[in-house]
């Protein structure tokens, strides 16, 4: 569930009144998502037409200083025909406002649903949409450091401690120690960089059939190795949920879709096995930390760190490196 902030009807009407989007008709809290509070907003404009938006109130995990990067990026990509929602600016032209000390933004509502059991044609479309974002972001003037890079994995997993990791699984501390050392020693320095989404899981993609109608949740977007985003998306889309089964048809389709819009360079493709190990480590790190540190009564469904430890072991097996060959 993700509605952490309570807003009364009058407060909601006042918030929506700051935008030139018509009169508030309804506001329904959205259960999906874990980080921020979201509502589906319906308004009626002066011609009587119904309009829909997403109202997001940013909670502790999103740094307000980063909002101009995230929200300007949406406008930049939308202006270049990427399937991302636009930010509705308020009557003063601002992309976000404050209410009771919390930042909020009103975002265009996009149709579509998140697929839970993707087909290869859908993975192909997602690969192509990701490449479209990478190309379209090339002239976005702002940068943001990846707050979930190698240093963050080391910090989060260090905070878990050997005992904590072993409590999750007896083998986990050994795997993490070995892989973190290897990733620190070999993480590539000279691959092309740009703006990346960094969290393109199926629940952050809206689809109608095989068409991508929305890429959402850009709140980990940052400047980093472009091919790392391909690796993140690969780890997110190309396995069954618990990571016990690799799905080769989805893998080929995702990479083909990406290549059809932005062909991967030889060096990028060669680096994918290592980048994918890093991608698996990134989600293993946050999931393990949350597994050990989330209070029992928190209104959130914890995600299994072992699902990404299994992906990590798959990517680390030299016999599987060929999945990334063209
Ligand atoms: N622009 C949008 N159009 C339609 N639905 C959206 C949009 N943005 C968010 N949603 C809905 O809200 C849910 C939570 O949004 P998300 O940004 O993923 O939250 P969180 O950052 O908390 O994970 C999504 O799963 C989706 O159902
Ligand atoms: N995709 C990550 C968790 C981040 O949550 P999101 O709802 O903001 O995408 C994972 O699966 O661990």
Model confidence at 32: pLDDT above 60: yes
- Which one of the ligands is nearest to 282 CA? 2
Ligand 2 pocket, 303 CB below 6 A? Answer: yes
* Local confidence band at 6 (pLDDT 50, 70, 90 cut-offs): confident
Ligand 2, from 33, 58, 199: best to mutate by most atoms within 8 Å of Cβ? Answer: 199
Confidence at residue 205, expressed as pLDDT on a 0 to 100 scale: 98
Q: Would you state the pLDDT for residue 4? A: 76
Average pLDDT on 217-222 reads: 96
Residue nearest to atom 19 of ligand 1 (CA): 33
CA-closest residue to ligand 1 atom 25? 32
Question: In sequence order, what DSSP letters do the residues of 176-213 get, joined into one string?
Answer: HHHHHHHHHHH--SSS-EEEE-S---GGGEEEETTEEE
Average pLDDT over residues 39-45: 96
Asked if 238 contacts 272 with a C-beta cutoff of 8 angstroms, the reply is no
Give the separation between CA 130 and CA 196, rounded to whole angstroms. Answer: 9
- Mean pLDDT of the 125-146 span: 98
Q: What pLDDT, in 10s, does the model give residues 299-325?
A: 667 899 999 999 999 999 999 999 999
**Ligand 1 centroid vs 294 CA: distance in angstroms?**
22
Distance from the alpha carbon of residue 220 to the mean position of ligand 2, in angstroms: 9
pLDDT band for position 66 (cuts 50, 70, 90): very high
How many whole angstroms from 52 Cα to the centroid of ligand 1?
13
Can you tell me which atom of ligand 2 is nearest the CA of 236? Answer: 11
- Ligand 1 and 83: CB distance under 6 A: no
Q: What is the mean pLDDT of the chain?
A: 95
The residue nearest atom 26 of ligand 1, judged by CA position, is 32
Q: 11 or 35: whose pLDDT is higher? A: 11
> What percent of the chain shows pLDDT beyond 70?
98
What pLDDT shows up at residue 60? 83
pLDDT over 90 (residue 132):
yes
* H helix and E strand count, the chain: 9, 10
Tens-digit pLDDT profile for residues 166-189: 999 999 999 999 999 999 999 999
Q: What is the pLDDT of residues 280-295, one digit of tens each?
A: 999 999 999 999 998 7
Q: How far apart are CA 123 and CA 114, in angstroms?
A: 12
As a whole number, mean pLDDT of residues 33-47 equals 90
Separation of CA 30 and ligand 1 centre (Å): 8
Other Cβ atoms less than 10 A from the Cβ of 270: the count is 17
Segment 84-111 shows an average pLDDT of 97
State mean pLDDT over 90-116. Answer: 97
**Tens digit of each residue's pLDDT (9 = 90 or more) over 223-244:** 999 999 999 999 999 999 999 9
| Dist. CA 190 → ligand 1 center (Å) | 34
At 5 the pLDDT is 81
- Whether pLDDT at 267 is above 50: yes
Cβ-based neighbours of 79, under 8 Å, separated by 6 or more: none
**Euclidean distance between CA atoms 315 and 13, whole angstroms:** 50
Distance 199 CA to ligand 2 centre (A): 7
| Ligand 2 center–CA 321 separation, angstroms | 26
Q: Is the pLDDT of residue 1 over 60?
A: no
Nearest ligand to the C-alpha atom of residue 241: 2
Please give the domain boundaries of the chain with CATH numbers for all domains. 9-108 (3.30.200.20), 120-324 (3.90.1200.10)
């Amino acid at each position: 569930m993700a509605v952490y902030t309570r807003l009364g009807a009058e407060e909601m009407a006042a918030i929506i009144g700051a935008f030139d989007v018509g009169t508030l008709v309804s506001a329904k809290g959205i259960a999906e998502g874990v980080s921020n509070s979201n509502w589906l907003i319906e308004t009626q404009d002066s011609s009587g037409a119904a309009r829909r938006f997403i109202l997001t109130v940013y909670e502790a995990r999103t740094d307000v200083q980063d909002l101009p990067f995230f929200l300007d990026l949406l406008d930049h990509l939308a202006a270049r025909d990427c399937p991302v929602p636009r930010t509705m600016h308020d009557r003063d032209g601002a992309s976000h406002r404050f209410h009771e000390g919390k930042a909020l933004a009103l975002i265009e509502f996009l149709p579509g649903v998140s697929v839970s059991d993707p087909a290869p044609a859908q993975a192909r479309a997602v690969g192509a949409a990701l490449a479209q974002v990478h190309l379209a972001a090339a002239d976005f003037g702002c940068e943001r450091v990846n707050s979930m890079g190698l240093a963050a994995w080391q910090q989060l997993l260090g905070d878990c401690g050997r005992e904590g990791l072993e409590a999750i699984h007896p083998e986990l501390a050994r795997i993490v120690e070995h892989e973190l050392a290897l990733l620190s020693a070999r993480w590539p320095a000279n691959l092309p960089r740009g703006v990346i989404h960094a969290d393109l899981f199926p629940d952050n993609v809206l689809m109608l059939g095989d068409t991508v109608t929305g890429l959402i949740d850009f709140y980990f977007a940052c400047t980093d190795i472009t091919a790392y985003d391909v690796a993140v998306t690969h780890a997110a889309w190309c396995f069954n949920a618990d990571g016990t089964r690799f799905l080769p048809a989805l893998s080929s389709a995702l990479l083909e879709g990406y290549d059809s819009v932005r062909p991967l360079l030889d060096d990028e493709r060669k680096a994918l096995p290592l980048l994918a190990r890093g991608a698996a480590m990134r989600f293993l790190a946050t999931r393990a930390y949350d597994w050990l540190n989330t209070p029992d009564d928190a209104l959130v469904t914890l995600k299994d760190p072992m699902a990404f430890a299994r992906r990590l072991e798959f990517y680390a097996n030299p016999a599987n490196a060929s999945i990334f060959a063209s």
